[in-house]
């Protein structure tokens, strides 16, 4: 290796990297801000314009778009040597380039005339050229890879496998960069771009999909997608789905809470004075369904909670942290996956359908809770309705939730009939429903669901409202002396 071209926007580590290359006897080409940083550090280099014989022009728009640069990157050693010699083109063995920060600047709502100046042209062109010729050129677009290069060179050279890995990373970066530009420009004056390009990193194969005959992988490096167990077996496809559902609901609570999920639906939700109280209450809502479940908690797990969890079969546990004693106790459950609750990374929802996908964005909005019954809810009923409503938002439709102010009492989920959802919730209730409240994810089209709930002992109901028969439902509530609130927001989950 004889020559490296360094041209970076993000100068993290570039001076140290360049110094290492120089000490290894590698000549350096550079320009612009990178050249200035090298000069200030006393590292010898050749200006690109001096090497090409062409000055930078158009405020730096044109500086590396030259045959001596691209020929040096694309020239195949042992194949194009004569052509390179004829035109005075020297081989460039290492390319270190990262790009203008278009993604970051696009978030600043700059005028388009300013933003286009952050669309890098020469950088992606050089990266693609070097990546295409990866057998002869090592391409670095990420400062975290500088040590890989210097270590490999110190040991005698960069391997073919390392070169290919760097090329894959380079093409992924230019693809993501072009996608960001395309999505932004296509989205101007439109809530969604006409053409949408998406990239996720960190792809990891899973043992199988929803069922053993299906293949699956998970992509993503942050949030739930990037969560890796600190103990236990690798996560499965269904584990990730259930964990995402559990954490989504958990984030509705500020007070001490426990969420237990089975098959993408909550089967027990509770708050408590202590985490142990919350866990036992949530588990006892439906102990049969809690067997083999996913548990999400929003407080550190101590030895008391660990002991209770270990007394039954649990697939996955996630919490902000674990005490040393808890980790020691839970280690006995070798297959139980333990994860640390990640910071939220909320994003638009994407779902595949035959021939394409559905894309959904949930903008900030406010519910408008309005008492529509003659009787106002008591403070206790109102607190219980708020808990039931949170759970409703994260349960498959049609859903009916019975609750008191601390826990769910009965959950009816995923039914075609709302009345059937209510009957299932009543059947599965683990405590008497007298004095409970009930929540419905969508409006009640008829009074029948309210009447079933009232017969079971519910005294208050919360629902979106909006049915053409709202007046009939309100009349039924008044006849039963039930308090009823309309929220104005529906929470279907399909």
Give backbone dihedrals phi and psi of 44, rounded to 5 degrees, phi first. -65, 140
Would you state the pLDDT for residue 230?
95
Are residues 414 and 304 part of one domain? no
Provide the residue range defining the domain that includes 143: 3-186
| Mean residue pLDDT across the chain | 93
Residue 481 has what DSSP assignment? Answer: T
pLDDT surpasses 80 at 234: yes
Are residues 147 and 231 part of one domain? no
Strand boundaries in 320-399, DSSP class E? 337-340, 349-353, 356-360, 370-371
| Model confidence band, residue 226 (pLDDT cutoffs 50, 70, 90) | very high
The reply to whether 219 falls in a domain is: no
461 and 480 Cβ atoms separated by less than 8 Å? no
Are residues 150 and 297 part of one domain? no
- Token pair belonging to 241: 């789905």
Are residues 323 and 393 part of one domain? no
Place of tokens 């500088």: 146
Mind listing the pLDDT tens digit for each residue in 178-188?
A: 999 999 999 88
Question: What's the N-to-C CA distance of the chain in angstroms?
Answer: 57
Are residues 416 and 314 part of one domain? no
The more confidently predicted of residues 221 and 60 is 221
425 and 398 Cβ atoms separated by less than 8 Å? no
Q: Mean per-residue pLDDT for 31-54? A: 87
270 and 407 Cβ atoms separated by less than 8 Å? yes
Query: Comparing C-alpha atoms, which of 275, 288, 454, 298 is closest to residue 390?
Result: 298
Mind listing the pLDDT tens digit for each residue in 3-37?
A: 999 999 999 999 999 999 999 899 999 988 899 99
Contacts of 113 (CB under 8 A, 6+ apart): none
Q: Give the full edge-to-edge strand order of the sheet including 314-319.
A: 265-271, 257-262, 293-297, 314-319, 337-340
Would you state the pLDDT for residue 59?
67
Percent of the chain with pLDDT over 70: 98
166 and 139 Cβ atoms separated by less than 8 Å? yes
CATH number at residue 295: 3.40.140.20
Percent of the chain with pLDDT over 90: 79
pLDDT surpasses 90 at 363: no
Are residues 267 and 148 part of one domain? no
Half-sphere exposure of 60 (CA within 13 A, CB side): 12
Mind listing the pLDDT tens digit for each residue in 310-324?
A: 999 999 999 999 999
| pTM for the model | 0.86
The backbone region for 361, taken as left when phi is positive above 0, alpha when psi lies in -120 to 50, beta otherwise, is beta
Are residues 383 and 275 part of one domain? no
Mind listing the pLDDT tens digit for each residue in 381-421?
A: 999 999 999 999 999 999 999 999 999 999 999 999 999 99
Are residues 326 and 282 part of one domain? yes
The reply to whether 460 falls in a domain is: yes
Are residues 45 and 132 part of one domain? yes
| Model confidence band, residue 490 (pLDDT cutoffs 50, 70, 90) | very high
Q: Please list the active-site residues.
A: 132, 263
The backbone region for 78, taken as left when phi is positive above 0, alpha when psi lies in -120 to 50, beta otherwise, is left
């Amino acid at each position: 290796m004889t020559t490296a071209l360094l041209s970076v926007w993000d100068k993290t580590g570039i001076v140290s990297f360049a110094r290492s290359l120089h000490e290894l006897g590698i000549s350096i080409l550079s320009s612009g801000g990178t050249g200035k940083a090298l000069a200030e550090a006393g590292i010898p280099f050749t200006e690109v314009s001096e090497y090409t014989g062409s000055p930078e022009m158009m405020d730096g728009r044109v500086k590396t778009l030259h045959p001596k640069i691209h020929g040096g990157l694309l020239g195949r050693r042992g194949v194009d040597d004569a052509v390179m010699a004829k035109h005075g083109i020297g081989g460039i063995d290492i390319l270190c380039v990262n790009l203008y920060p278009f993604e970051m600047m696009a978030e600043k709502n700059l005028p388009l005339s300013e933003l286009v100046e952050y669309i890098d042209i020469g950088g992606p062109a050089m990266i693609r050229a070097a990546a295409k010729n990866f057998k002869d050129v090592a391409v670095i677009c990420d400062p975290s890879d500088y040590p890989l290069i210097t270590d490999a060179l110190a040991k005698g050279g960069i391997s073919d496998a390392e070169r290919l890995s760097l090329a894959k990373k380079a093409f992924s970066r230019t693809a993501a960069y072009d996608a960001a530009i395309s999505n932004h420009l296509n989205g101007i004056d439109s809530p969604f771009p006409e053409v949408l390009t998406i990239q996720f990193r960190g792809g990891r194969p899973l043992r199988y999909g929803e069922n053993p005959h299906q293949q699956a992988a998970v992509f993503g490096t942050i949030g739930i997608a990037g969560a890796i167990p600190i103990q236990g077996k690798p996560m499965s496809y269904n584990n990730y789905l259930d964990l995402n559902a559990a954490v989504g609901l958990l984030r509705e609570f500020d007070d001490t809470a426990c969420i237990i999920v089975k098959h993408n639906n909550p089967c027990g939700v509770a708050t408590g004075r202590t985490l142990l109280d919350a866990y036992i209450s949530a588990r006892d809502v439906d102990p049969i369904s809690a067997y083999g479940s996913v548990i999400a908690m929003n407080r550190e797990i101590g030895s008391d909670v660990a002991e209770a969890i270990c007394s039954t079969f649990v697939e996955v546990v996630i919490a902000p942290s674990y005490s040393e004693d808890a980790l020691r106790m839970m280690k006995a459950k070798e297959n139980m996956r333990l994860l640390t609750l990640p910071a939220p990374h909320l994003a638009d929802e994407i779902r595949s359908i035959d021939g394409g996908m559905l894309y959904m964005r949930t903008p900030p909005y406010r519910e408008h809770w309005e008492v529509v019954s003659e009787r106002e809810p008591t403070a206790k009923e109102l607190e219980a309705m708020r808990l039931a409503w949170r759970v409703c938002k994260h349960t498959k439709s049609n859903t009916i939730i019975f609750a008191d102010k601390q826990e769910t009492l009965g959950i009816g989920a995923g039914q075609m009939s709302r009345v059937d959802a209510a009957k299932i919730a009543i059947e599965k209730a683990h405590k008497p429903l007298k004095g409970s409240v009930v929540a419905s994810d969508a409006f009640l089209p008829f009074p029948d669901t309210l009447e079933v709930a009232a017969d079971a002992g519910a005294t208050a109901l919360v629902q979106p409202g909006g049915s053409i028969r709202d007046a009939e439902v309100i009349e039924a509530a008044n006849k039963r002396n039930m308090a009823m609130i309309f929220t104005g927001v529906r929470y279907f989950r399909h």
